[in-house]
A and B are shown apart, each in its own frame.
Chain A
């Protein structure tokens, strides 16, 4: 509370008179503002959970649809316990099934995505040949291809790898290509002026120049991989987080469904944090403008 009061006083100081701009209260106020902001963004989700809990217990909201957070958490802990059916715990069993599919499908999609994207960015004829195919098929929602992939690869794991790979390859390929094509002309001029050969033009200019957008493509690809795998598991799998969410709804184990949703959220958030960290490591110059 006292932080807020100080902030207000600081603002009135700034408005009130230029002569007092260097008053210490201004600095205290600004610092308090940042701290308040941080605290607010930390507290607001917690407050929401608390309200949910209280309203659930008071009977204001229907706990059949919105079981209170503590009971969801209790189920989560239960799902971590080993059972005869799931020796490592059900949650880890389902999660590892999804993560395994994402990892393999992502790899199958992103590696060719980078390679073909680079080729398209560098060589006009290749771009001319492939671009129309991309443009024509990109708008298809990838999940709509699932029946086709099941037809080709069967109901097993391969159809899941295929659909993730398909979803990932577009984003990685398109971003890689535009990364190569949008390299600053000045860097190409430098390469020419210093008589860099083709290999150096590629290794020292085109590839690192495209790297920021390649990483962007990979980040987008990871997001869409999560999207696709959950949807695919809901209709055509016997394991995975998507399967967990779908079956627990069908048998009305609503807490389990919420656990599945929470896990997906954590996986999405965690992968974003991880990729952002990797990005700062791989392309440290990306977010610094000269």
Chain B
């Protein structure tokens, strides 16, 4: 597999997911075909219940797919890296581990000894702004700090791709702005391939190279907007948000999304 920056990193073909709810089949995903480039920051927006989180969980190996194929290109580098690491929406760091052990969790799972995994984790602790909190426990941290730990844990694991499921959704608006900027800074330094699910158009525009708009259930691809040509890297959150193109892009994405949200609202809730 070629390793140039424009090569395909994730190739999804006809991903389908069907749940059975109370004996009746419900289609969550109805054929997703997608190519995501190496080093691309790819955002998925869609109405609630459209299957965007399901797609991410399938990629994370936390849910099975009903059909379709997933290919993730491995880097030509020496060691076998983990395929993916996920940043979860809810509080997902272990309350019984301090910040350092939380961030080094994936490395421990990979089999690194204590000294080695602490050494590898160290720079990531600093990158997400947690210097001085290495020995703190999660109950001593704010919500924003906990998500920093979660992000550092995923980056430190050095996977082929990163999966992020609305990591900032539970945070207040101001913390969210700060963390978006920090995520951009860390990502621009490390250039991992990121698949990022959000319901916030605003967040997608700030972060993404491309934005995928999904339809209401069953989830299909409705549109893909290219953001990278409009807002080059490195980006600053404030600059993006105050530019004229921002409003234009927001209008375009919302134009695609609006009808889907209305359709989704009209659907019955599916409780699994």
Interface residues of A (CB under 8 A from B): 186-187, 189-197, 200, 204-205, 208-209, 211, 283-285, 288, 290
Contacts and interface: CB of A to CB of B under 8 A. Distances in A.
A194 B109 contact: yes
Nearest to B143: A290
B236 to A, nearest CB: 31
Interface in B72-122: 82, 84-86, 88, 90-92, 94-97, 105-106, 108-110
A196 B106 CA distance: 8
Interface range for B = 20 to 34
B266 interface: no
B32 interface: no
5 contacts: A194-B106, A204-B97, A208-B94, A208-B96, A290-B138
Interface of B: 60-62, 82, 84-86, 88, 90-92, 94-97, 105-106, 108-110, 137-139, 143, 146, 153, 157
Contacts, number: 64
B60 A193 contact: yes
Contacts of A288: 139
A290 B84 CA distance: 27
B178 to A, nearest CB: 19
Q: Is the interface of A mostly helix, strand, loop or mixed?
A: helix
Given A194-B82, A197-B109, A290 B61 contact: no
A197 B94 CA distance: 16
Nearest to B62: A189
A284 B109 contact: no
B95 A285 contact: yes
A182 to B, nearest CB: 14
Contacts of A204: 94, 97, 105, 108
Contacts of A285: 95-96, 137-139
Given A190-B86, A191-B109, A192-B62, 13 more contacts: A186-B88, A186-B91, A194-B153, A195-B82, A204-B97, A204-B108, A205-B94, A208-B96, A211-B96, A285-B137, A285-B138, A288-B139, A290-B143
A219 to B, nearest CB: 19
B105 A194 contact: yes
B109 A290 contact: no
B95 A193 contact: no
Highest count of chain B CB atoms <10 Å: which of A195, A205, A284: A195
A190 B105 contact: yes
B44 to A, nearest CB: 18
A290 B92 contact: no
Contacts of B85: 193-194
Contact of B90 (A186, A193, A194): A186
Contacts of B143: 290
A190 B91 contact: no
Given A211-B96, A290-B91, A290-B143, A193 B137 contact: no
Contact of A290 (B60, B62, B82, B139): B139
Given A194-B105, A288-B139, A290-B146, A189 B96 contact: no
A195 B109 contact: yes
A190 B157 CA distance: 12
Contacts of B137: 284-285
A186 B165 CA distance: 13
B109 A200 contact: yes
B88 A194 contact: no
A190 B106 CA distance: 9
Contacts of B82: 194-195
A200 B112 CA distance: 13
B17 to A, nearest CB: 17
Contacts of A192: 61-62
The 6 closest A-B pairs by CB, nearest first: A208-B96, A285-B95, A288-B139, A194-B106, A285-B139, A196-B109
A142 to B, nearest CB: 32
Nearest to B163: A193
Contacts of B95: 285
A205 B94 CA distance: 8
